Structure 1
Amino acid sequence: MRAVLFDMDGTLLATEQYWDEALVELGAGWGKTVGPDALAATAGVDLDGAMAIVRAAVGVSRTPEESAADHTWVVDRVEQLMAEAVTWQPGARELLLACHADDVRTALVTTTPRALVTHVLGHLRADLGVEPFEVVVCGDEVPARKPDPSPYLQAMAALDLGPADCVVVEDSLTGSRAGLDAGCRVLGVPAGQVLPAEAGLTVAEGLEGVTPAVLADLPHPVRT
């Protein structure tokens, strides 16, 4: 293994909660309550898809113009929250630093737009004292978003590495699917979703105790 490709929201950082908070506030603005099942279904889904899930769950119809305004409002709200602070998932900071110490290359591959990721990277640089990732691929910089493999293929191309050299770390079904379809081994650390057994996918309860050596030993998928 020569590189680890990390998802951001819910995997490395507890930023998924910001999207949930904004969607709950959006629903409240419609006079509706967005419940935990609807929020769980949005994990790993891009914002337009997440808003569609929420609208269906609470029974709200919006015009295209209203949907566009909702999209802008949610992004602005999450940007406010991310600008204030971000929190590591347990074990994530230690794993990232261990990758740096072991000369394992790192990339961030996220559905979150670049404008928001810029705030996150600023927090991480200040905390770690180093540039956290060699490559950063954001959701508004790819031809297709997860579960399409394009984001991970783009990250590997930027690193000039192939899938046999890389391990993907993800928390969602859509993200895991993207990593597997890119040909990589995937460590799934789900929160609120069930990841089905599949060749190339290893599921763990979290990142505590996970090291580069653990990732390097993950089984390769057997493809026929």
Structure 2
Amino acid sequence: MKTKAVLFDFDGVIADTEQGATKYLEKAFDKYHIQLTEDQRRSYIGTDGRKQTEEILKDAGVSVSVEEFFKERAKLGSYYENSPDLKPISGLEDFLKLLKRKDIKTGIVSSTNCRLIITALNRMHLIHYFDAIICGDMVEHKKPDPEGYLTAMQYVDAGPKECIILEDSPTGIKAAVNAKATVVGFKGSEIKQDTSQADLVWETYEEAIRWFRHADAHLNLAERDF
């Protein structure tokens, strides 16, 4: 079946934010004299972080609510809004241009707050490439629930079998699998995660471009044979 839409996670797929965002998170925990372990840092990837934060505060004996913590964290700024290092992952824009030329719709589905995602996309001059943007504060159920992806599919008028989803984390991949789309495990970010549950693996966007060109060649051959 022909691909009608490609849907992207944001963190680790559109921009390599995960290391930078963690630094802002650690600054917030420093205010409560909490140092995160490597496992705790990685647990935030692909999530909105609320459950992990509640557990970390509780284990440290800090009587601060998750809401209070994130209010304090917001005062410190964010990688999406403030970091001079924010940039698209290499090759992304060329891939997006290819999809536009092929009239394939595009969307972003992220667990991150909408304000941060929109700000980051504007800073990188990418927002005009996307036909749908669904963020964590726009859905009732976040990843690994497929709600965000299913909602995006409605906006781009494509069924699950007509969609390819790019994700870099096990949580995101599970959401994409639950949405019953073709799932690509993307390995182009600094933090390499388990993508074994994905249907395909792309190391770079150059590989994504080659894949689409190869798929086109097979489709054209099949049409000539028919």
Superposed CA RMSD = 2.4
Per-residue CA distance 1:20-48 (angstroms, 9 max, x = gap): 11221122222232232221122112120
Q: Structure 1 pair 139/102, CA: closer, same or farther in 2 (3 Å)?
A: same
| 1:186 corresponds to 2:188 | no
Tell which deviates more after alignment, 206-215 or 82-91. 206-215
| 1:113 corresponds to 2:113 | yes
Q: Which has the larger radius of gyration?
A: 2
Q: Give the conservation status (yes or no) of the 8 Å contact 2:47–2:112.
A: no
Q: State the alpha-carbon separation in 2 of the partners of residues 23 and 106 from structure 1.
A: 30
Identity %: 25
Q: Give the conservation status (yes or no) of the 8 Å contact 1:135–1:159.
A: yes
Equivalent in the alignment of 1:3: 5
Q: State the alpha-carbon separation in 1 of the partners of residues 16 and 103 from structure 2.
A: 26
Equivalent in the alignment of 2:224: none
Q: Structure 1 pair 20/110, CA: closer, same or farther in 2 (3 Å)?
A: same
Q: State the alpha-carbon separation in 1 of the partners of residues 109 and 142 from structure 2.
A: 10
| Residues paired across the two proteins, number | 208
| 1:41 corresponds to 2:43 | yes
Amino acid at match of 1:176: I
Q: State the alpha-carbon separation in 2 of the partners of residues 30 and 117 from structure 1.
A: 27
Amino acid at match of 2:166: V
1:44-55 to 2 correspondences below 5 Å = 44-52=46-54, 54-55=56-57
Equivalent in the alignment of 1:222: none
- Measure how far apart 1:49 and its partner are: 2.4
Equivalent in the alignment of 1:82: 80
Secondary structure of the structure 1 residue equivalent to 2:207? coil
Structure 2: unaligned runs, 5 residues or longer:
216-226
- Measure how far apart 1:112 and its partner are: 1.1
Name the TM-score, length of structure 2 as normaliser.
0.81
Tell which deviates more after alignment, 10-19 or 143-152. 10-19
Q: State the alpha-carbon separation in 1 of the partners of residues 213 and 177 from structure 2.
A: 15
Q: Structure 1 pair 73/101, CA: closer, same or farther in 2 (3 Å)?
A: farther
Q: Give the conservation status (yes or no) of the 8 Å contact 1:142–1:151.
A: yes
Structure 1: unaligned runs, 5 residues or longer:
218-224
Q: Give the conservation status (yes or no) of the 8 Å contact 2:81–2:120.
A: yes
Q: Structure 1 pair 216/189, CA: closer, same or farther in 2 (3 Å)?
A: same
